[in-house]
Amino acid sequence: MATLICSPLHAATSSTTFTVNANVLAVCTLSATNVNFANYDATSATADDTTSTLTVLCTNGQAYTVALNAGLSAGATVAARKMTSGANLLSYTLYTDAGRTTVWGDGTLSTSTVAGTGSGADQTLTVYGRIPINQHVPQGSYADDITATLTY
């Protein structure tokens, strides 16, 4: 009787290493809601306050700064903004804080910008608006356009 002895087959192997890489870009986006003061009453003893929200979405760890311009009205500055209704002007201010002590602008004329660091998720920034009392201007619909600039 013959005995069959099997030996295991030895498979040959070869291996290599390769690199997987990606370059993560610094990316940011900015969106805003309107500042709506609604009805202004010049005879009121209190200023007309409201808020708006800016939403910043930046790559995690990305530093950013948000500035607001002076608007479109002739003679307006970041420290003294103006809404218009025809040739009529209604002054207002935008602030970085709820106490309305720090004017949000472009960093000039004693104004501040708002800085942050991206988290990869939406971050909201509140814009605090105020129309001062005792502005006895003609009745009408007043408006201005502000440009928010996100620098990163």
Assess if residue 109 is contained within a domain. yes
What does the DSSP assignment read for 26-57?
--EEEEE---------TT-SS-EEEEEEEEEE
Q: How far apart are CA 132 and CA 70, in angstroms?
A: 17
Structural domain including 138 reads: 28-151
Which residues, in sequence order, are bridge partners of residue 133? none
CATH number of the domain enclosing 45: 2.60.40.1090
Contact 78, 106 (CB under 8 A): yes
Assess if residue 11 is contained within a domain. no
Assess if residue 49 is contained within a domain. yes
Query: Considering its fold, how many domains does the chain have in total?
Result: 1
**pLDDT at residue 65 is higher than 80:** yes
Distance of CA 50 to the CA centre of its chain: 17
The tokens 């809404």 sit on which residue?
83
Using a pLDDT cut of 90, give the percent of the chain over it: 93
Give the pLDDT score at 11: 87
Assess if residue 7 is contained within a domain. no
Assess if residue 107 is contained within a domain. yes
Assess if residue 6 is contained within a domain. no
State both tokens at 17.
């290493």
Assess if residue 96 is contained within a domain. yes
**pLDDT at residue 1 is higher than 70:** no
The tokens 């804080």 sit on which residue?
97
Give the pLDDT score at 9: 74
Q: Please, which pLDDT band fits residue 4 given cuts at 50, 70 and 90? A: low
Assess if residue 118 is contained within a domain. yes
**pLDDT at residue 57 is higher than 80:** yes
Residue 29's closest CA among 118, 143, 132?
118
**pLDDT at residue 104 is higher than 90:** yes
State both tokens at 93.
């201010």
Contact 68, 104 (CB under 8 A): yes
CA distance to 12, 14, 39, 120, 124, per residue, from 56 (Å)? 56, 50, 29, 10, 6
6-20, 26-40, 77-91: least confidently modelled range: 6-20
**pLDDT at residue 145 is higher than 90:** yes
